[in-house]
Structure 1
Amino acid sequence: MITLTTDFGTKGPYVGEMKGAILSINPKAMLIDITHSITRHSVLEGSFVMEQVVKYYPKDTVHIGVIDPGVGTERKALIIEGDQFLVVPDNGLATLPLKHINPTAAYEIDIKKMEAIIGRKISSTFHGRDVFGPAGALLDLGYEPSRLGKEISLDEIIKLDLKPKQKDGKWILKVIYIDDFGNVILNLEDYERPKYVEVEGLKIPYLDTYGQVKKGELLALPGSHDYLEIAVNQGSAAEVLGVKVGDELEVRLWR
């Protein structure tokens, strides 16, 4: 089973080309499109989406993630082995899903080996089709990752700085995802339930679900992904707060 998470969009041939490259190696592969609509170049957004996916997939699933603004540069192409596999560029995309796969080893994919396997020169601008897709196809067939590249230390993998920070009794939190409803998800887990959440001076009730406030009103809640979430009942918290993925907010939890 292979999942696909990219920022390719659906207008062009890119998703189809990558799938073709996978199926030409592994015709029986079960391909699951998670999304191809990650905001262009948003590694943080892609990392959040991949994290949620790996939590619900079975052992040995291969997760291919291609949000890769550094394609063709010296950044590494990685296979990370654990209960499941991550096949991703080494740009921080693995940060959040790594928490859930019990990683045991990491490998830098050898471009020359991949060229020999696919039988043609690898494009410098489309590693989704020529590197990550074929590597995922081979892993799904049972190839050992060591056949595709050299082992590197797990400590070498680039990780985004997503540790919540505290200052003067407040949290400094990062927006790690905004869904299609405009719900704002912040990088805070494992916190004691508050009565109110103050966000940039706005004191918001902390409740269990959206319908507990009137239409158009703000609320905070635990959300379905175990992170602190800010929402508007039948509206967009992102629009009300004027935020985007990657922004930092001052947040105070009132008990």
Structure 2
Amino acid sequence: MAIISLTTDWQHRDYYLGALKGRLLSICPGAQLVDLSHNVGNYNISQTSFIIKNAFVHFPKGSIHIIGVKSEETPEHPHVVVKYQDHYFIGADNGIFSLIMKGDPEEIVRIENIEKEDHFHTFPELNVFAKAASHIIKYNNLTELGSTQKELYRLVPIRALIQKGTITGQIIYIDSYGNVTTNISKELFESVRQEREFEILVQSNHYRISKINQNYHETSEGDFLALFNSSGLLEIAINKGNLAELLQLDINSDIRIKLHDY
């Protein structure tokens, strides 16, 4: 059974998702459709890449992942299928694949040989991506979809800044609980910290956290906490509260870690 995941920035009031699922079920009979997320911020490929990167690894190999965020084709950003770790990703080559993938993909093919319907030219998910998914399922190869492309368009992810005695990271994701994930990995934190005492500063010096939890319940309800989440990244939260809403935090807001010398 073929598995096709869907990630879009569509609102549920729109017909787009229903139309895409209907097309996929029509031309990919027996396929299992899985919704990754449809609450992504409009055109937000950073948020989209974070969701897909942390979800696709739990899918069976051979799964197909349709990316319906910032999906319009341009001369600089063509529609492509990318094979990576035995998964297939379909979308516009606008930098999102470089944010999802750590290493080089096995194959990159431009989608050039799909018969397009003129009245769906503004709906590439329906007009192109669904048909590309059908081709992959039927023929298990990419060569007939179009020409091979050597490299992907690359975006450079924002890195945490390391200065003497300080790590400055940015919020890269906010979940539905208002917990914020930063770009500070556990490996980076431990290598720079070197067992020193520390304070995590949220919103300048107003809120300080001086320990790392293993679980949320280690901190009393309503109090601030920090832990390394399932993505291996530093997460700041309020136990049974909404941190982002309370402090009006947003993507790219700074989180600082002050390290204390012995």
What is the RMSD of the two structures over their aligned residues, measured on CA atoms?
Answer: 2.2
Pair 1:125-2:126 in alignment: no
8 Å contact 2:166–2:259 — kept in the other structure?
no
Pair 1:66-2:103 in alignment: no
What corresponds to 1:231 in structure 2?
237
Give the letter for the 2:257 counterpart: R
Larger-gyration structure (1/2): 2
Inter-CA distance 2–92: structure 2 relative to 1 (3 Å threshold): same
Q: CA deviation at 1:241?
A: 3.3
Q: CA deviation at 1:141?
A: 2.7
Output aligned runs, 1:182-193, within 5 Å: 182-189=178-185, 190=187, 191-192=189-190
Q: How far apart are the structure 2 equivalents of 1:76 and 1:167?
A: 39
Output aligned runs, 1:194-213, within 5 Å: 196-199=199-202, 200-201=204-205, 202-204=207-209, 205-213=211-219
Among 152, 175, 178, which residue is 1:179 paired with? 175
Q: How far apart are the structure 2 equivalents of 1:48 and 1:96?
A: 8
Pair 1:170-2:181 in alignment: no
Inter-CA distance 72–125: structure 2 relative to 1 (3 Å threshold): farther
Q: How far apart are the structure 1 equivalents of 2:132 and 2:178?
A: 35
Give the letter for the 1:182 counterpart: G
8 Å contact 2:81–2:89 — kept in the other structure?
yes
Structure 1: unaligned runs, 5 residues or longer: none
- Could you say what secondary structure the match of 1:188 adopts? strand
Question: Higher mean Cα deviation, 217-226 or 122-131?
Answer: 122-131
Inter-CA distance 86–72: structure 2 relative to 1 (3 Å threshold): closer
Q: CA deviation at 1:166?
A: 2.3
8 Å contact 1:65–1:86 — kept in the other structure?
yes
Give the alignment's TM-score, normalised by structure 1: 0.87
8 Å contact 2:214–2:227 — kept in the other structure?
yes
Give the letter for the 2:254 counterpart: L
What corresponds to 1:35 in structure 2?
37
Output aligned runs, 1:1-255, within 5 Å: 1-68=3-70, 71-74=72-75, 75-82=77-84, 83-99=86-102, 103-110=105-112, 113-115=113-115, 120-121=117-118, 123-154=120-151, 156-189=152-185, 190=187, 191-192=189-190, 196-199=199-202, 200-201=204-205, 202-204=207-209, 205-245=211-251, 247-252=252-257, 254=259
8 Å contact 1:183–1:232 — kept in the other structure?
yes
Q: CA deviation at 1:99?
A: 2.6
Give the alignment's TM-score, normalised by structure 2: 0.84
Post-superposition CA distance 1:15-70 (Å, at most 9, x none): 111122222321121111112121222111111110111121111111111111x6
Q: How far apart are the structure 2 equivalents of 1:170 and 1:108?
A: 44
Inter-CA distance 42–104: structure 2 relative to 1 (3 Å threshold): same
Post-superposition CA distance 1:52-101 (Å, at most 9, x none): 11121111111111111x6243322121112211112222322343138x
- Could you say what secondary structure the match of 2:225 adopts? strand
Give the letter for the 1:84 counterpart: H
Give the letter for the 1:174 counterpart: Q
- Could you say what secondary structure the match of 1:10 adopts? coil
Q: How far apart are the structure 2 equivalents of 1:207 and 1:242?
A: 23
Inter-CA distance 243–223: structure 2 relative to 1 (3 Å threshold): same
8 Å contact 1:72–1:124 — kept in the other structure?
no
8 Å contact 1:172–1:248 — kept in the other structure?
no
Question: Higher mean Cα deviation, 120-129 or 55-64?
Answer: 120-129
Q: How far apart are the structure 1 equivalents of 2:224 and 2:200?
A: 10
